[in-house]
Amino acid sequence: MSSPAETGVLPGHPFVHLRGQDLFAEEVSLAGLAAEHGTPLFVYSKAAMLAALAAYQRGFAGRDAQICYAMKANSSLGVLQVFAQAGCGFDIVSGGELDRVLAAGGTAAKVIFSGVGKTPREMRRALEVGIGCFNVESEAELHVLSRVAQELGVSAKVSIRVNPNVDPKTHPYISTGLKDNKFGVAHEETLRVYQLAASLHGLKVVGIDCHIGSQITQLTPYLDAMDRVLDLVDAIEAAGIALQHIDFGGGLGIDYQGDTPPAADALWAQLLAKIDARGHGGKKLMIEPGRSLVGNAGLCLTEVLYVKPGEQKNFCIVDAAMNDLPRPAMYQAFHRIVPVSAPSPLAPSARYDVVGPICESGDWIGRDRALQVQGGEVLAVLSAGAYCMSMSSNYNTRGRAAELLVDGAVVHVIRERESTADQMRQERLVRA
Ligand SMILES: *Cc1c(COP(=O)(O)O)cnc(C)c1O
């Protein structure tokens, strides 16, 4: 990867720009942030999040629509607060995520609860605070939700997650809409499951939902999935079960490595045209975008610890690792890596595997990257706003990184660096 000083732009990152030789996030120098707050350090741009949200809002202008941020992409409270204040709802997948929404000032009525393994305890809590809808993924779950709702004397609003069996043409681990996935109800069984849901006490059928995968960069899977969902809507309504909303999930990709996903507003212009043409334009629309709202609004600053030349390979050892940035190890994912300042003219220029300090060969962040670096320099790992901090761990007893939210020239610390004492707080020595 050539330095931004050569190319002048950071693809996919409209909020990051060069001033002289230095990279800035909005009005703030990244080198300055690393010096002040230490590394590894996540830096998010509020403007970039709101710009990503605005693309969806433009797409839904004049429609009855609800954008529910799929918070598993990045569930830090300061990030949730940005979306809550912008009027978003939230797509949650656990009771813990519900607690976070409420702590960040989100509205329970705008929460939808997805996931194949909701526990009765999680259902009860969600009903007590009055969430908007349960996206139910199996018959067995319908029975349990019906029982829990009746015990509380309330009615649970439900939508059934259907599996449209289209190939999203993405990594197998993040493809969720194919037949052999654990997610959703098979296309052929949908009508029967809706009839069951309509017959059970304590449930009120309100919608239908699907989510076909993640990091989708092509239009066709979305258009195909919408057709299949609308076929089901027709069949369900023909059976006398009215649906108020269509929830089309998330999954829109971002530019990690020259990827060219459709823009959210352009995608929805096409999907809405289809919905209208098939006579369902009056229904409320819901979506659950995660990655596309935050992925390119964040980056991770990391300091080069050592440069280690080798016979086969050169290694650039940095202070961020797979516990901070798990995507390369988990999915062989690509993140662009760029220096935040002009490289020292003394630094050797070479191709490097950029790796972390963790004792695993899988601990790499980038492979075969052209870099001019030496110890002490700071690199930015781009596209690190989604599925990084929220998937981070303490492996090797590494504290989680700090997180900053940049808003113009103002910097908010939204997560302090985790100490070893923080990590050990719940542990107990055995008494002799
Ligand atoms: C993960 C997930 C999303 C968000 O996916 P992105 O690819 O981040 O947009 C939405 N809905 C459900 C049910 C999910 O599991």
> Mean pLDDT across the stretch 3-20?
72
pLDDT above 50 for 6: no
Assign residue 240 a region (left: φ > 0; alpha: ψ between -120 and 50; beta: otherwise).
left
Average pLDDT, whole number, for the chain?
A: 94
* Beta strand ranges found along 239-347 (DSSP E): 245-247, 284-287, 298-308, 314-318, 337-339
CA distance 321 to 281: 47
Residue type for 179, please? K
State the pLDDT at residue 167. Answer: 74
Q: Which of 97, 176, 214, 229 to mutate to test the pocket of ligand 1 (most atoms within 8 A of CB)?
A: 214
Interval 181-191: pLDDT, tens: 778 899 889 99
Query: 114-289: which CATH topology?
Result: TIM Barrel (3.20.20)
Interval 316-357: pLDDT, tens: 999 999 999 999 999 999 999 999 999 888 898 999 999 999
pLDDT above 50 for 249: yes
State the pLDDT at residue 175. Answer: 62
Spell out the CATH class of 4-45+295-424: mainly beta
Least reliable range by pLDDT among 65-79, 175-189, 233-247, 402-416 = 175-189
CA 174 to chain centre: 11
State the pLDDT at residue 161. Answer: 96
For ligand 1, the distance from its centroid to the CA atom of residue 61, given in whole angstroms, is 22
User: What's the whole-model pTM score?
Assistant: 0.95
Q: Which atom of ligand 1 is nearest to the CA of 114?
A: 13
- Which segments of the chain belong to CATH 3.20.20.10? 114-289
Which protein residues are within 6 Å of ligand 1, measured from CB? 70, 72-73, 91, 114, 211, 214, 249-252, 288-292
CA-to-CA dists, residue 134 to 114, 137, 247, angstroms: 6, 9, 11
285 touches 68 (CB < 8 A): no
Active site residue 359: yes
Which ranges in 86-135 belong to alpha helices (H)? 95-103, 120-129
Interval 19-61: pLDDT, tens: 999 999 999 999 999 999 999 999 999 999 999 999 999 999 9
Query: By C-alpha distance, which of 12, 2, 1 is closest to 297?
Result: 12
Of 88, 210, 359, 388, which residue is the catalytic one? 359
For ligand 1, the distance from its centroid to the CA atom of residue 302, given in whole angstroms, is 28
Q: Which of 49, 90, 174, 211 to mutate to test the pocket of ligand 1 (most atoms within 8 A of CB)?
A: 211
- Which segments of the chain belong to CATH 2.40.37.10? 4-45+295-424
Using the Cα atoms of residue 261, residue 263, residue 264 and residue 268 in order, give the sign of their dihedral.
negative
For ligand 1, the distance from its centroid to the CA atom of residue 214, given in whole angstroms, is 7
